[in-house]
Amino acid sequence: MKILPPTQAIAPGKLILSGEHAVVYGCPALVMAVNRYVKTTVLAQPESHITFCFQNKMIEHTLTFSALMQLKDRIKRNYEDFLKGNLEIQKVLHKPLELVQFAVGLLLEVASIQSLGEMRIHMQTDSWIGCGMGSSAAAILSILVGLAHYLQITLSTDALFNLAHQAERAQHGKSSGLDLQSSLHGGCLYFKEGKISKRVPPVLPLYLVNTGQPQTNTGECIVAASTYFKNGEISHDFAAVTDALDNALKLNKMQEAIFAVRENHKLLNAIGVVPLRVQQLIMEIEKKGGAAKISGAGAVAGNNAGAVLIAIEDVAVLHEISHRYQQEIIPIQCEARGVYVN
């Protein structure tokens, strides 16, 4: 097998503007790729085995090809046990790095690769990890695209998505694929029941604050929130809010956008994924004339909920809130490109 020179693949993170949780149940969602990235570099190394390195050796793990494929098989079995109700979703993977190792194992299996030369897979991100910005999806796509290019494996867009989706489900349990579609295609997307439509990125001013990494993961939040979607009423409400925000952004109507974001927050609060401390932050933003909502799974325990989206006209208010809560507030920038090889 011919091995190419070092390869780097870059995948953007994302923000859900509207529709988190509800999108899993067929409701529409608005999502936007943003300028926070996961970069994966694949290169040969003199040492034996395969080394996975994350954030400049903050996490590093070396294993053989055989051990990698055994890990892949074990995670597949664990996921089957989860589907049967015999295992909690947070126990399918034993540690976070196994997510990308599982993705690599799936790629090698599909490509019928029986052995692999020594290589180093180095991953780096400037995204807020575990905070609803799609870092897991971006990591999966960047490693699949980088390794496929390095090993000269041809993957169609559909095949790439299906592999990435299989890996993502091992972490989240039930997944709409929304994060993956955003990182795969870039730009701003309207997503419903697996179908995507391009949207012009919003020109209205939108901001982001990181409330801290949640105590619970996405899979746990999806399971906890699922009971609220057993009847169709709340799903209908979520769908209406997403379409209202979609229309407001198309027409550049700030007050309509603020109203839609506020209604979205009420629904997310109703399904129990907005911690009290984050509710208080959002309430203060609303009192100042703006609106805010979690952008991701949120949390069902603890004080943090990851990324929170803010829509507000008075920027001075943001400086006041940032100072009071000691949290950085940043403007959102859309990334037009999906995952690509650098």
- Arithmetic mean of pLDDT, 153-160: 94
- pLDDT tens track for 204-219: 888 988 888 888 888 8
pLDDT of residue 2: 53
11 and 115, same domain (yes or no): yes
pLDDT for 245 beyond 90: yes
CA proximity to 138, closest of 39, 212, 210: 39
Number of domains composing the chain: 2
Residues 6+ apart with CB under 8 A from 241: 18, 260, 263, 264, 267
Residue 134 belongs to a domain = yes
pLDDT for 326 beyond 80: no
226 and 162, same domain (yes or no): no
118 and 17, same domain (yes or no): yes
Residue 184 belongs to a domain = yes
Residue 1 belongs to a domain = no
pLDDT for 193 beyond 70: yes
135 and 34, same domain (yes or no): yes
Domain hosting residue 140, numbered range = 7-197+335-341
Residue 2 belongs to a domain = no
278 and 229, same domain (yes or no): yes
The residue whose two tokens read 């290589």 is 119
Query: Are 302 and 215 within 8 A, CB to CB?
Result: yes
Cα torsion 278, 283, 284, 290: sign: positive
The residue whose two tokens read 């507000």 is 312
0.75 exceeded by the pTM? yes
The residue whose two tokens read 């070092």 is 6
174 and 250, same domain (yes or no): no
Residue 69 belongs to a domain = yes
Query: What is the C-alpha to C-alpha distance for residues 258 and 290, in angstroms, rounded to an integer?
Result: 6
Residue 137 belongs to a domain = yes
- pLDDT tens track for 248-271: 999 999 999 999 999 999 999 999
152 and 214, same domain (yes or no): no
pLDDT for 198 beyond 50: yes
pLDDT of residue 56: 67
Residue 315 belongs to a domain = yes
- CATH number for the domain including 87? 3.30.230.10
177 and 152, same domain (yes or no): yes
241's enclosing H/E stretch is helix 233-251
- pLDDT tens track for 51-90: 999 876 678 899 999 999 999 999 999 999 999 999 998 8
161 and 302, same domain (yes or no): no
pLDDT of residue 339: 97
pLDDT of residue 1: 47
- CATH number for the domain including 275? 3.30.70.890
Pull the structure tokens for residue 339. 């995952």
Residue 295 belongs to a domain = yes
